[in-house]
Amino acid sequence: MSKILSQKIKIALIQLSGSSPNKKANLERAATFIDKAIKEQPETKVVVLPECFNSPYSVDKFREYAEIITPESESVSFLSKLASKYKITLFGGSIPEIDPKTDKVYNTALIFNESGDLIDTHRKVHLFDVDIPNGITFKESITLSPGSKETTVTTPFGNIGVGICYDMRFPELAMISARKHNSFAMIYPSAFNTVTGPVHWHLLARARSVDNQIYTILCSPARNMESSYHAYGHSLVSDPKGNIIAEAGIDEEIIYADLDPKAIDDFRMSVPLYKQRRFDVYPDVSK
């Protein structure tokens, strides 16, 4: 069986207390933590930032903070320089994006290669519209529009699928990325809250891993009880067997994990799901 992950790599998740009203300060704080990560673990090859790290996570603020995605836009330019400076593959969390052709606003993940090139974007496909009794009411669709594509990016180490937060609850994106594009991991910049996080955060990460026998990576903002939205925290990495191999607490923190091709190959050989699926009985969503 050929390796879908070409070599063992180290990944860093930046659980950042961004999302303040000061975009420049949010970006600078991300830079400080990325610099710290590379100094602490110089062999780090992939760095991940949280969902909406550069702006408040609030439906009435998305349009105000939205950027047109161009090489010159504030956040794109800033993250590009960081990826190039440290020679890392940078999953730059997500930022509010505005499409000048349609005036629609999206929650968009940015992915940069080691040269600082923006190699792909992912617009959040499933919008977080929920009304949980005695819990939380939040409707992103008040200001955001949904994306319309599955996203898989090619890195020097293999393919990686990308989703954003609520996308995690829908297994199809991970299935398509893993089965059609041979991805070794799904990365979800995410901001689960203190209501949904305790019940489903770990469960969903482990499920996506076991379903597809891949790594699942969730990067959350740190919890800030002074903000209007209280993120759950607990950024984590789940291995192909569904074991949590790295996890943060609720405060600002950097966590590291080694992603090992042997873990994928061994589990797929011992539990050969890829040979045993019955597409004569049910459809293959990756087609």
Tell me if residue 139 is catalytic: no
What is the DSSP track for 236-258?
Answer: EEE-TTS-EEEE--SSSEEEEEE
pTM above 0.75, yes or no: yes
pLDDT tens-digit profile of 52-93?
999 998 888 999 999 999 999 999 999 999 999 999 999 999
Residue with tokens 């993940």: 109
pLDDT tens-digit profile of 110-126?
999 999 999 999 999 99
Mean per-residue pLDDT, 119-136: 87
| Residue 77 identity | S
| Phi, psi of 154, deg, nearest 5 | -95, 125
What is the C-alpha to C-alpha distance for residues 98 and 113, in angstroms, rounded to an integer? 23
Catalytic residue among 23, 45, 97, 165: 165
Mean per-residue pLDDT, 158-164: 98
* pLDDT confidence bin for 169, thresholds 50/70/90: very high
Q: Are 235 and 223 in contact (CB under 8 A)?
A: no
Catalytic residue among 23, 45, 124, 252: 124
Q: Are 46 and 155 in contact (CB under 8 A)?
A: yes
pLDDT above 70 for 131: yes
* pLDDT confidence bin for 1, thresholds 50/70/90: very low
What is the C-alpha to C-alpha distance for residues 185 and 257, in angstroms, rounded to an integer? 13
Percent of the chain with pLDDT over 70: 98
* pLDDT confidence bin for 3, thresholds 50/70/90: low
Predicted pLDDT at 135? 67
Could you tell me whether strands 244-247 and 236-238 are parallel, antiparallel, or unpaired per DSSP bridges? antiparallel
pLDDT above 90 for 226: no
Specify the fold of 9-276. Nitrilase/N-carbamoyl-D-aminoacid amidohydrolase (3.60.110)
Predicted pLDDT at 85? 98
Tell me if residue 150 is catalytic: no
Mean per-residue pLDDT, 32-38: 98
**Radius of gyration of the chain from Cα atoms?**
18
Predicted pLDDT at 18? 67
Nearest Cα residue to 123 out of 66, 71, 83: 66
pLDDT above 50 for 141: yes
What is the C-alpha to C-alpha distance for residues 100 and 108, in angstroms, rounded to an integer? 14
Nearby residues of 203 by Cβ (< 8 Å), 6 or more positions away: none
pLDDT tens-digit profile of 175-221?
999 999 999 999 999 999 998 999 999 999 999 999 999 999 999 99
Nearest Cα residue to 107 out of 136, 71, 65: 65
The region, left, alpha or beta by phi > 0 then psi within -120 to 50, assigned to residue 13 is beta
Predicted pLDDT at 31? 97
Chain mean pLDDT for the chain: 94
Nearest Cα residue to 189 out of 114, 108, 259: 108
Q: Are 111 and 118 in contact (CB under 8 A)?
A: yes
Catalytic residue among 23, 45, 51, 252: 51
Mean per-residue pLDDT, 147-161: 97
